[in-house]
Structure 1
Amino acid sequence: MITLYGIKTCDTCRKARKTLDAQGTSYRYHDLREQGLDEALLERFIDHAGLGALLNTRSTTWRALAPSEQQAAKDDAARARTLMLTHPTLLKRPLLDTGERLIVGFKSDDYRTLTH
């Protein structure tokens, strides 16, 4: 089962959902803000995409962090993991988990290749 991870208020996540719906792709939606993020799921994301690809340094949540926390997250993988678990909105989104691969961000071409 395909799972789309995101947050309701994210415009890019909305585009991803509309694309999946329009092409008739079955998926489950997981709202990171409401349903959260556990350590096992985060580690799975990191294994598939890498920590650097997941940390959203352009997010509102990132900009609200103290500069010392931002630097610590850049320098220390354990600190970055802790911050992502505490603030799931620090993950780049949407995250589309096909079971075989993880697509970080939204590009309509990536979504067109999905099986229904």
Structure 2
Amino acid sequence: MKGPLMRIFALKSCDTCRKAIAAIRAAGHDPQVIDVRADGVSDEDRAAILKAFGHKAINRASTTWRGLSDAEKESDPNDLLAQHPTLMKRPVIDHAGQLYLGWKGDVQAAILG
């Protein structure tokens, strides 16, 4: 395994998450994968993710988001993610103490070099 432990908060049914995990493993990393639906997200991790990304941590394009009432959509992001972990934009990658959101080119460059 290269360097410090890498953790990926993902959803096993998410295509982007699967692509990210495959690319990261192909680059020689052995990340710990945390399935947000099956494993949940700890209070500490959720707080760190929200501190790093704020409202951007919420996936407003998701089926879960569309199913929420207007009142629910206005609630505190921490409460929303605690009740609906699949609302988290994915993947969130914790690499060497730095958090990354999504799997676009800038994140790929930072993670894969």
Q: TM-score range by the shorter chain?
A: 0.7 to 0.9
Alignment-derived partner of residue 57 in structure 1: 60
TM-score (norm 1): 0.84
Q: Deviations over 1:10-67 (max 9, x none)?
A: 11101101111221122111101000112211111122x2311201111111011112
Structure 2, unmatched stretches of 5+, are none
Aligned length: 109
- Could you tell me the percent identity over the aligned residues? 32
Give 2:50's aligned amino acid: I
SS of residue paired to 1:81: helix
The question of whether the paired residues in 1 share the 8 Å contact of 2:58 and 2:87 is answered with: yes
TM-score (norm 2): 0.86
Structure 1, unmatched stretches of 5+, are 74-78
Distance in 2 between the 1:46 and 1:86 partners?
14
Structure 1 or 2: more helix by fraction: 1
1:1-116 matched pairs, under 5 angstroms: 1-47=5-51, 49-70=52-73, 72-73=74-75, 79-114=76-111
